[in-house]
Each structure stands twice: as structure tokens, then as C-alpha cells.
Structure 1
Amino acid sequence: MHDIASPHGAGPHSPARLLVRLYTRADEARRSRMLARLLQPLGLLSLTAVAAGAFRPLLGPQGLALDALTPASVAGFSTGQVFELASFVHDMDPQLLWQAAMVLVDTPWALPSFTLAVLVLLRRRVLPRASVVDRLALEARVSPAA
């Protein structure tokens, strides 16, 4: 279990903390999509163990039931639980956090400056060795069309 005050989550710019910042600013529909993206790579054991089993109710007879992830169910998860999930997923593959954050970029010209700034910080933390081509592609994706 990762404590927000632990060295793993230390600092305001840790990838998991940055993702939680984005999560708290997102609407419920985007929160649902972000959680779905974070939960997809988890196995049954991981799903029941992370965040003290908070995401266990999403298990159905066939495994993870993402259709059970409704705006009402999303409201039941605390930011601490989402932080634990994000920390766990970051340990699995840091790029998965970036994929979860990209849920917010469906309308890039409408992104608030705070969200854009956090996305840039997260990108630097999770994908520090991204090529110039990748960075230019991201800038083109999040900048308004001229």
C-alpha cells in the first residue's frame, strides 16, 4: 500500500499524484474513462489487493466488469484510492498513466491551462525520453488549430 506521504508518492510532481490532480478536475464521465484505462491491465489478484480492495466490486463473473464503472460508482472512490491505483499501475508500466491522462484530450482546445500544465508535467515524468517527434506530435494534438 502506498501512502501519499511515502517516498514513492513524495513530492507534488510524482506521476501518480499528477494523475490524481487531473482526475479530481475531470468530470464524472472522464473519471470513469480514466479509471477504466487504469484498471484494464490489472489481474484478479491485483484488483482485489490494490487500495485495500476498493475496486473489488467491479469484478463480475467473467472478470473486470467495466460496465459497472458508472458515474455513481466513480463518486464512491476516494482520491487516496485512485492514488493507490495510479501508483500500482505506474509500477507496472509508467506509460499506462499517460494513456489514462490522454482521456482528457478529446477536445484539446478546451483544456483549462491547469490541466494542460499538469499533462505536460506528467508527460515529462512518465515519458522523459520521448523523442522530439513525439513531443511535436503532442504539441500539435493539444494546441488549437490555426
Structure 2
Amino acid sequence: MFKLIASLLALGAATSSALAGEADFYGKWQIREVVMGPWHDPSHPLADDDSGPRIGQIVEISRGKMSGPNLLGCAPVEFRVDPVPYLGMFEGGLSVEDNNKPSSDEVATARRHAEALGFTAEPVEALTHSCSEIALFRASATTLVFGLDYRIFTLEKQ
């Protein structure tokens, strides 16, 4: 009986931790910067750069809802928080050199690019949601980043 109770308490603690991680992403976030991702091939320029008008827009995350620019906003939504190594961020996009060729040391390359974006610890908390394939990565308590096309968007907590 004691083992059953201990197991249930451990399961409850794990569930609470997962929900607390999701809640850490809640709030209003403003898009403050957009830069090209390291996976962008400069020899193939983008036909359309629509990132400028997105700077200053607000993304709001709350339980079961994300509102903001059409690329992020949706409801109802299911969130999930997962730990992601630098190498797995942006669908592996940090593991390429600027010339878009795989590096001989992908882990070191991914670390270098992640640190340049402000990440200081691995794994990184990633918030994914059921409306799109976009993952929001926590760089700090006040900074999130996500990738879209060849760009990395930085959001600042309001």
C-alpha cells in the first residue's frame, strides 16, 4: 500500500512540474527582433521579407490559448513542454555552418549558434502547441525565440 501511495505522489509531482513548465510561458510577449537563421543559404535570397511588420506585435500565451500574429495565434490549443538539446533546436538548424553544409562537429556548431542567440544552459525548454509546428524556446525568464522559414524571431516578456 505504501508503495502505491508513493508512486501516486511521484506521478502527481511529475504532472505538477509539467504544468508549471507550461505556465512559465504564459503572459504577453512582444516580437522585438528578427534575424536570419544559420541554416539560411545567402546564395538563395528570400523573395519576400515580411518579418519587419511583425516586430512589435504581441503574442499572448495562456492556458489553452495562444493569440498573436496569424503564424502563432490559435485556440483551443494543447501545449507541451519538452527539454531539447541545442542540436535539436529549430529542427536541427543550428547544427549547420553559415554556408549550409553540415559541420564535422555538429554538437559544437549547434552550441556556438545557441550561445550566440543567448542560450546559456542545455537542454532548453521548448513549448510546442497543437496548432502549428512552431516551437518556442526559452532563452531566459524574459526571452523566447522561435524559427520560421529562414528567420529566428526573438520575443521579450511584457
TM over 0.5: no
Instruction: Judging by fraction of residues, say which structure has more strand.
Output: 2
Q: Radius of gyration: which is bigger?
A: 2
Instruction: Judging by fraction of residues, say which structure has more helix.
Output: 1
Q: Greater relative contact order (Cα 8 A, min sep 6): structure 1 or 2?
A: 1
TM-score range with shorter-chain normalisation? Answer: under 0.3
Q: Tell me the TM-score normalized by structure 2.
A: 0.24
